């Protein structure tokens, strides 16, 4: 599925609608991680250089009440974007109407404008999230070309991506979306081997599709995080009070059978009796977790084994931390995996967004990987082999 990209589109003097993903973490109105804004800069700078009139669309959080509007306005994001682009960004605190239309009409080539949080439209029947046809048509009427650069929402059919694309003359992928598809797509469909996947996180159910798809493509799947305990319990091993999906035990057992040894489970864990950073803990073998203990991180023997397996890898995809890395005493496994993958030579290394991306960035390895995805849910669905609506809606390459 080859799609038009930004390079294929003539944008000079045209009003270009750009779906970006500026759903950044906020604390008391201040951005705590601007990675998604920085990742969109190359596409926006290209449009500016080509004399386009740029109109940015993004959501921020989930807007469920009028009270959410004050907390979830995109005004601070527009200010941050202005700093990154080193030029004024006009912010319009509306998602439709005369004020927005006039502001767009007055744009000059090279100008940038950002409309208000698209999910403000969700207060009236979830018009954005449910891809209301009239809303998509209205937004499309505001411009000449649509560029989707929001990989983080590409797995959703919203009015601000699929809706606009269906009602505009020309649409294409931005540089970030193109990069995400190229890195993750090539890793899955044409990897340099050995290809090792590392899957962590809490739930097996979140990764079922990914595991099934990777069983046919990866040479090895290293398991960590909360899902480890569901796999172990499915084999009759005592896991104490560790997080377990009881309704997925049979599935986990079947996945292990289908894997024919490709799935590698932890050998030991750091366990404790209380979910707290400073609670007393010990290292326990996988078959030595007591009934009143829970595992919160992989142990040193597991980390050493995973490091040896990763040593010769030439393609690595990592999705999900292997422990509760938010707790300083239980981040050793995730940090160790992060350091190992980041220091691999002659390897394509990809982090599939979400918490593993946050961990790598927080640990100071943001520039040490071949690619860190900006989309958690989108990365998972792409790793599953699913078609992403936000990509499928764009014009095909000629």
Selecting among 38, 75, 126, 203, the annotated active-site residue is: 203
Angle at CA of residue 112, ends 181 and 109, nearest 5°: 105
Measured CA to CA in angstroms, residue 173 lies from 9, 85, 251 at distances of: 10, 20, 37
Instruction: Please say if 203 is a catalytic residue.
Output: yes
Question: What is the rounded CA–CA span in Å between residue 270 and residue 184?
Answer: 32
6-174 matches 182-383 in fold: yes
Say yes or no to pLDDT of 73 above 80: yes
pLDDT exceeds 90 at position 188: no
333 catalytic, yes or no?
Answer: no
Phi, psi of 3 (to 5 degrees): -115, 155
| Inter-residue contact 357 to 24 (CB < 8 Å) | no
Q: What is the spatial distance between Cα 135 and Cα 126, in angstroms, rounded to a whole number? A: 11
The two tokens of residue 243 are 């997080």
Catalytic pick among 4, 14, 36, 262? 36
| C-alpha to C-alpha distance for 279 and 101, rounded to whole angstroms | 58
Alpha carbon distances (Å) from 31 to 73, 79, 80: 12, 10, 8
Handedness of CA 103, 108, 161, 42 (dihedral sign): negative
Buried b / exposed e across 337-352, counting CB within 10 Å, b at 16+? Answer: bbebbbebeebbbbbb
Residue 307: predicted pLDDT: 98
CATH of domain 6-174: 3.40.50.1260
Q: Which residue matches tokens 């050493």? A: 304
Q: If you average pLDDT over every residue of the chain, what do you get?
A: 95
b/e for 359-390, b at 16 or more Cβ within 10 A? Answer: bbbbbebeebbebbbbbbebbbbbbbeeebbb
Work out the percent of the chain whose per-residue pLDDT is above 90: 86
Q: Which entry of 240, 354, 375, 376 is annotated as an active-site residue? A: 354
**Of these residues, 61, 110, 377, 385, which one is catalytic?**
377
Does the pLDDT at position 290 exceed 90? yes
Sign, CA torsion 152/387/131/6: positive
Query: Could you confirm whether 354 is annotated as catalytic?
Result: yes
Q: Tens digit of pLDDT for each residue in 334-345? A: 999 999 999 999
Question: Which sequence spans correspond to the domains of the chain?
Answer: 6-174, 182-383
Decide if pLDDT at 1 tops 80: no
pLDDT of residue 358: 87
Give the range among 75-84, 118-127, 305-314, 374-383 with minimum mean pLDDT.
374-383
User: What's the pLDDT tens digit per position in 342-357?
Assistant: 999 999 999 987 888 8
CATH topology of domain 182-383: Rossmann fold (3.40.50)
Find the mean pLDDT for residues 168-178.
97
pLDDT band at 186 (very low <50, low <70, confident <90, very high): confident
How far is the C-alpha of 393 from the C-alpha of 270, rounded, in Å?
Answer: 46
Reported as a single tens digit per residue, the pLDDT across 86-138 is 999 999 999 999 999 999 999 999 999 999 999 999 998 899 999 999 999 99
**Is 36 a catalytic site residue?**
yes
**Sign of the CA dihedral 137, 141, 147, 152?**
negative
**100 and 92 Cβ atoms separated by less than 8 Å:** yes
Question: Any idea how long the chain is?
Answer: 398
pLDDT tens digits for range 7-36: 999 999 999 999 999 999 998 889 998 989
pLDDT-based confidence at 369, cuts 50/70/90? Answer: very high
Amino acid 334: pLDDT:
97
The answer, yes or no, to whether residue 204 has pLDDT greater than 90, is no
Q: What predicted TM-score, i.e. pTM, was given to this entire model?
A: 0.89
User: What is the separation of C-alpha 194 from the centre of its chain, rounded to a whole number of angstroms?
Assistant: 24
């Amino acid at each position: 599925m080859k799609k038009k990209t930004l390079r294929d589109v003539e944008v000079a003097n045209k009003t270009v609608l750009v779906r970006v993903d500026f759903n950044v973490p906020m604390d008391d109105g201040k951005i705590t991680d601007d990675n998604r804004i920085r990742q969109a800069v190359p596409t926006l700078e290209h449009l500016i250089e080509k004399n386009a009139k740029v109109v940015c669309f993004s959501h921020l959080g989930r807007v469920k009440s009028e009270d959410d509007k004050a907390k979830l306005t995109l005004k601070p994001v527009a200010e941050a974007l202005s700093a990154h682009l080193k030029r004024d960004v006009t912010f319009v605190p509306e998602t439709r109407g005369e004020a927005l239309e006039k502001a767009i009409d007055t744009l000059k080539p090279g100008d940038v404008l950002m409309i208000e949080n698209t999910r403000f439209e969700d207060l009236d029947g979830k018009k954005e999230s449910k891809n209301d046809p009239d809303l998509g048509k209205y937004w499309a009427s505001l411009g000449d070309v649509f560029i989707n650069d929001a990989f983080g929402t590409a797995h959703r059919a919203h009015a601000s991506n699929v809706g606009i694309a269906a009602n505009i003359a020309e649409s294409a992928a931005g540089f970030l979306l193109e990069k995400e598809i190229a890195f993750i797509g090539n890793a899955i469909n044409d990897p340099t081997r050995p290809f090792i996947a590392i899957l962590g996180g809490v739930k097996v159910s979140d990764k079922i599709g990914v595991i099934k798809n990777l069983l046919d493509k990866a040479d090895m799947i290293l398991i960590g995080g909360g899902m480890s305990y569901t796999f172990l319990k499915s084999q009759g091993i005592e896991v104490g009070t560790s997080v377990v999906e009881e309704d997925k035990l049979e599935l986990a057992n079947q996945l292990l059978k289908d894997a024919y040894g490709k799935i590698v489970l932890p050998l030991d864990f750091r366990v404790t009796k209380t979910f707290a950073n400073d609670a007393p803990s010990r290292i326990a073998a996988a078959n030595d977790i007591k009934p009143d203990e829970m595992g919160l991180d992989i142990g040193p023997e597991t980390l050493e084994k995973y490091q040896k397996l990763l040593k010769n890898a030439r393609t690595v995809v990592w999705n999900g931390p292997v422990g509760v890395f938010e707790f300083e005493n239980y981040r050793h496994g995730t940090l160790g995996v992060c350091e190992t993958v980041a220091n691999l030579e002659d390897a394509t290394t990809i982090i599939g967004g979400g918490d593993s991306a946050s961990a790598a960035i927080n640990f100071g390895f943001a520039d040490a990987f071949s690619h860190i995805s900006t989309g958690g849910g989108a990365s998972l669905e792409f790793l599953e082999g699913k078609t992403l609506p936000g990509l499928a809606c764009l014009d095909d390459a000629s």
